[in-house]
Amino acid sequence: MNEGRERWTSRTSFIIASIGAAIGLGNVWRFPYMCYENGGGAFLIPYFVALFTAGIPLMIVEYGLGRKMQAGAPTAFAGVRKGTEWIGWLALMVVMLIFLFYPVIMAWCVDYVVYAFNLSWGTDAKVFFEQDFLQLSGSPGILGGIRWPIVIGLAVVWLAIYLSLFKGLKALSKIVFYTVITPWVILVIMVIRGLTLPGAIEGLKFYLTPNFAALLNPRVWLAAYGQIFFTLSLAMGTMIVYSSYLPKKSDITNNSFMVSLANCGTSFFAGFAVFSILGYLAQAMGVSVPQVTQSGFGLAFITYPTAIRLLPFIPAFFGILFFLLLLTLGIDSAFSQIEPFVAGFTDKWHFNKKLVLPVVCVCGFLIGIIFTTRGGYYWLDIIDYFASSYGLTFVGLLECIVIGYIYKAHKMREYVNEVSDFKIGKWWDVCIKIITPVILGISLILNIIALVRKGYGGYPTWATAVGVLITLGIIVISFVLMSIKAKAVHEEGAED
């Protein structure tokens, strides 16, 4: 047991922090749309099957690995077998790509909180977002000038990240209570407001009406597994390092179920806020719900602002609330992306965290300026695609192989059961050794085939090639970091 390691102040702090890491922007702007696109209410069937056969089992893997090895992802994998350390570094390299652009989206939210006071987007939120705010250059090959309002927002976000992490877990344990509970409160307000609007029921019908025929489509099931995998923030090293800060007798299985169910419940509940507003917008514009339904940036910065402006009662207030919701949802995810990255270096080379953290934050801010340029939006989209569709999927697949076959699934299950009130059975072994890796493998292969055939997003071939090179580059860097000798040999003194 590593007695000198930082510890969560309580089990509640750990659970809240893990929920905050898992719940992010995707819960609001991706899940409701995925549900609508893949059979409505019927999508909940493959979604929860995926949760119990892939999401929770892999969550247990990461909690168990971090708790047992008492270290972040690279050192934890090195504790399994020396040659697998690079997998932990790959997880951190992928999460590095994400935290280079993710705070930029948070910066947009910071700016939009300000814009919401007088509904600056006016009558055409699309034109405002693309032409006035981002001032899109038209091509990833043309970066154009820096958008200083976004840079200012980015500085605010990185400062918030640094101030939240530099005093360690004791401070973070207090902060996460506010950054996790606040979006839930706002979400309840948004749902209540949405349900009181004319047209809300029509919106909810599109969200929840089951199309059971969709369950016969394999892609619907793949979409469910993909959504579960990414929504729980797996394969980022986050859950591994968070669980490494657990006290000696901490439960693993119950924590995994609580965090996973809280995250998925939030996604489902958010759909009521989103589709009730979309139903209202559709009625106000005299069109059908599908005509105003979008996902991602389109929902958050175009569709929803358009609907907010049309609200009959204090629209500015609800505009501010919505972007505060996105900001507070995203900031926990931002914390959770930096912590495992910093821990990877401090665990292996025993660097001073108070020195590593500001270096990471400053470098993250400076590199992130690329995404604040007029062409930065395109690169944000490209890096997001490669990091999520290939990087995280590959890491998750490797985790299953390492724990399932090298470490042995039954061995991890026995360890988890020793420290957990709720015991898991051999079904868990089947999930880790067969179901999850097969699904992830199929998803990875299909994504590669689609990329080769069509490229991505209509971008020039050279831009897609850059994304491929970055992906291959972080794999090479992962092996390089593994090959650099540690300051002190990690002993498996993590054993109790």
The per-residue pLDDT string of the chain (496 residues; one tens digit each, 9 = 90 and over) reads 566 788 998 889 999 999 999 999 989 988 999 989 899 999 999 999 999 999 999 999 999 999 999 999 999 999 999 899 999 999 999 999 999 999 999 999 999 999 999 999 999 999 999 999 999 998 999 999 999 999 999 999 999 999 999 988 888 888 999 999 999 999 999 999 999 999 999 999 999 999 999 999 998 998 898 889 888 989 999 999 999 999 777 899 999 999 999 999 999 999 999 999 999 999 999 999 989 988 889 999 999 999 999 999 899 999 999 999 999 999 989 989 999 999 999 999 999 999 999 999 999 999 999 999 999 999 999 999 999 999 999 999 999 999 999 999 999 999 999 999 889 999 999 999 999 999 999 999 999 999 999 999 999 999 999 999 999 999 999 999 999 998 654 444 444 4
- List CB contacts of 444: < 8 A, sequence separation 6 or more: 390, 393, 394, 397
pLDDT at 249: 74
**Of all helices (H) and strands (E), which one includes residue 220?**
helix 218-231
Report whether 188 contacts 181 (CB < 8 A).
no
- The SS3 of residue 60 is helix
Report d(CA 2, CA 402) in Å as an integer.
23
Q: Which helix (H) or strand (E) holds 265?
A: helix 253-285
| DSSP conformation letters of 296-337 | THHIIIIIHHHHHHH-SS-HHHHHHHHHHHHHHHHHHHHHHH
Tokens of 116: 């919401």
Are the C-beta atoms of 236 and 91 separated by less than 8 Å? Answer: yes
Nearest-angstrom CA–CA distance, 92 and 236? 6
Q: Specify the CATH architecture of the domain 11-483.
A: Up-down Bundle (1.20)
The pLDDT of residue 489: 45
Q: What is d(CA 393, CA 384) in angstroms, rounded to the nearest whole number? A: 13
The vertex-293 CA angle with 49 and 381, nearest 5°, equals: 80
The pLDDT value recorded for residue 3 is 61
The separation between the first and the last C-alpha atoms of the chain, rounded to the nearest angstrom, is 6
Do the Cβ atoms of 475 and 90 come closer than 8 Å?
A: yes
Residue 492: predicted pLDDT: 42
The answer for residues whose C-beta is within 8 angstroms of residue 162's C-beta and 6 or more apart is 357, 358, 361
